[in-house]
Amino acid sequence: MRVDQAEGLRQIVKNFEDKGFKMSINAKGEITGVRLGKMIKGNKADYSSSLFRQIGRYIIRKFDGKIVDTAA
């Protein structure tokens, strides 16, 4: 990889991170990222409020209603 290509990748990652994405580049040079949004804090993990909801002390998956964790 040339120096200018590496600098270009760094700039792409920085631009996405400025827009609220968490980015990484794997060993193959592929860029992956997730958009950080409103999160619900659980005991095992953080959950996106667009896919999960908190009811009382439970975190429930919206599409099937299954309890996946308890809130921290």
User: What tokens appear for 32 in the block?
Assistant: 């992956």
Residue 1 pLDDT: 57
**43, 67 Cβ separation under 8 angstroms:** no
Residue 36 pLDDT: 66
Secondary structure of residue 24 in the 3-state scheme: strand
Residue 48 pLDDT: 82
Q: Which residues, given as ranges, of the chain have pLDDT below 70?
A: 1, 35-37
From the centroid of its chain, how far is CA 65? 22
